[in-house]
Structure 1
Amino acid sequence: MPIAAPPLYPARGRGFVPIRPSDESGGGAVSGGRGQASRGGPEGGARPRVGLFGGSFDPVHEGHLHAARTARDAFGLERVVFVPAARPPHKPGRALAPAHHRLAMLELALATEASFTVDPLELSRPGPSFTIDTVSEFETRAGGPAAVELFLILGSDNLAGLGSWLAVGELLARVRPVVVGRGADAATLLENLREELGAAAVARLEDGLLDLPPVDAAATDLRERLARGEDPGAPLAPTVLEYARAHDLYTGAR
């Protein structure tokens, strides 16, 4: 069974800690089989657990933060790195807000989350952003695959096209995938991937399935509300809303 999610709007943390995957682990580890997680104290020689959360973040909203908090708490992640994409290969036809603005909004949204940070590595990489390349970069920074345990945070909306991702088999073998979304919907999508990805890859995805309640925070809807001059409400942090309006980012629907 998927792991149940915590309440949607918990109190925010304090402080902002830059993330470096090679840092020593300061948090507890998670152990357990499919569909369960239990906290434990740090163990000698244990690798730090780092979550990678990629996306266009156009704009970043509470749905993204809630997914990251859920993954962090369920799997004992020391930290979660938000990795904004320069050119997502699965969204070739949509114009994104300029990268520096999306990066700035992420920094504002994460400023009070002590275990969250943002890394712009994909924004400086030419061409489309491929997750397998990002994983390789983080492993290299950490001192090799044996020095860090990477968890790849995915929305259930990523599952439909997952089979077309570059080197997806290798990717799923090198990271621990975490799939956040409605359990029944995600389970159906995973079953549809069984023939394409194989039973072992699907089992690995199922191990990281988190049941996340639906959040009224779709980025497309938020952009449209902003374009109409409407208040998007709680899903958008006040600092992010102020920044988006100050820079006229969504005055026309994208």
Structure 2
Amino acid sequence: MNGFPAAKAGQMIGLLGGSFDPPHSGHVHITRAALRRFGLDRVWWLVSPGNPLKSDGPARLADRMQAARAIMRHPRVTVTDLEAKLGTRYTSQSLLQLRRRYPGVRFVWLMGADNLAQFHRWQDWRWIMEAVPIGVLARPGDRISARMSKAARVYRAAKLPKQAAHSLGQRDAPAWAFVNLPMSDQSSSAIRARGEW
């Protein structure tokens, strides 16, 4: 499908978006955890052309794609540049396009707890919550701010109990699950600060 990954109606596909500037073992860790904890068939990494909430531009997309493919090796994970192909800049726009392009596929948006803490700053964040289930993976130090965030409070009634997280992809939105994991504290910004990227 012109560089677009294949997917069949009924499949549950997690979408992990981000700059991946650079991709690291923490991204791999949460991806593997999401497959297992949320009962997903596949995960697609959406390596974005740029993050509207960050003032600095990321490294070249081709370099980040190459690095992401080198580190994320799993038969059920696909590294993509879908947002560049779709010409979208915001998550809501990407989701809208993907839902049109893949009718019947059950998408789940994946994010770290740090993103949930500031999710209310995303464009059309309420639409995203109402459009797809959301799987939140806790990283060290982000749990309390995420649980107390505006999005968590507004959508408190849509939060699944811990034991139901595995069924997240089968749920109709709004639905979200929060899982605590022994997490890697690796971060892209720390790697850049050390001059390793």
Q: Mark yes or no: TM-score above 0.5.
A: yes
Cα distance, 1:207 vs structure 2: 4.2
Q: Deviations over 1:25-71 (max 9, x none)?
A: xxxxxxxxxxxxxxxxxxxxxx2100000000011111001101111
Candidates 18, 37, 45, aligned match of 1:74: 37
Cα distance, 1:188 vs structure 2: 4.2
Instruction: Please tell me whether the aligned partners of residues 183 and 209 of structure 1 are also in contact (alpha carbons under 8 angstroms).
Output: no
Candidates 34, 38, 50, aligned match of 1:87: 50
Instruction: Please tell me whether the aligned partners of residues 158 and 176 of structure 2 are also in contact (alpha carbons under 8 angstroms).
Output: no
Q: 1:30 — aligned with what?
A: none
What is the identity percentage for the equivalent residue pairs of Structure 1 and Structure 2? 26
Alignment of 1:154-233 (within 5 A): 154-182=111-139, 185-193=142-150, 197-200=154-157, 207-227=176-196
Candidates 73, 84, 95, aligned match of 1:123: 84
Cα distance, 1:198 vs structure 2: 4.7
SS at match of 2:119: helix
Corresponding residue pairs, total = 182
SS at match of 1:117: strand
For the structure 1 residues 125 and 179, does the alpha-carbon distance in structure 2 shift closer, same or farther, using more than 3 Å as the test?
A: same
Q: 1:99 — aligned with what?
A: 61
Bigger mean CA offset, 196-205 vs 164-173: 196-205
SS at match of 2:15: strand
Cα distance, 1:200 vs structure 2: 4.0
Question: What's the TM-score, normalizing by structure 2?
Answer: 0.80
- Distance in 2 (CA, whole Å) between partners of 1:212 and 1:180 is 7
Q: What RMSD over aligned residues (CA atoms) do the two structures have, in Å?
A: 2.7
Instruction: Please tell me whether the aligned partners of residues 50 and 79 of structure 1 are also in contact (alpha carbons under 8 angstroms).
Output: yes
- Distance in 1 (CA, whole Å) between partners of 2:181 and 2:85 is 32
SS at match of 2:148: helix
Q: 1:34 — aligned with what?
A: none
Cα distance, 1:199 vs structure 2: 3.7
Instruction: Please tell me whether the aligned partners of residues 139 and 184 of structure 2 are also in contact (alpha carbons under 8 angstroms).
Output: no
Instruction: Please tell me whether the aligned partners of residues 181 and 211 of structure 1 are also in contact (alpha carbons under 8 angstroms).
Output: yes
Instruction: Please tell me whether the aligned partners of residues 190 and 206 of structure 1 are also in contact (alpha carbons under 8 angstroms).
Output: no
For the structure 1 residues 194 and 123, does the alpha-carbon distance in structure 2 shift closer, same or farther, using more than 3 Å as the test?
A: closer
Query: Which amino acid in structure 1 is aligned with residue 108 of structure 2?
Result: F
Question: What's the TM-score, normalizing by structure 1?
Answer: 0.63
For the structure 1 residues 155 and 60, does the alpha-carbon distance in structure 2 shift closer, same or farther, using more than 3 Å as the test?
A: same
For the structure 1 residues 168 and 201, does the alpha-carbon distance in structure 2 shift closer, same or farther, using more than 3 Å as the test?
A: farther
Q: Which runs of 5+ in 2 are unaligned?
A: 161-172
Q: Deviations over 1:156-198 (max 9, x none)?
A: 1112221121211111111110101148843542323158735
Q: 2:169 — aligned with what?
A: none
Q: Deviations over 1:196-230 (max 9, x none)?
A: 73544566788410112231311122223345xxx
2:30 matches 1:61: no
- Distance in 1 (CA, whole Å) between partners of 2:185 and 2:152 is 32
Q: 1:20 — aligned with what?
A: 6
Query: Which amino acid in structure 1 is aligned with residue 17 of structure 2?
Result: G
Query: Which amino acid in structure 1 is aligned with residue 64 of structure 2?
Result: R
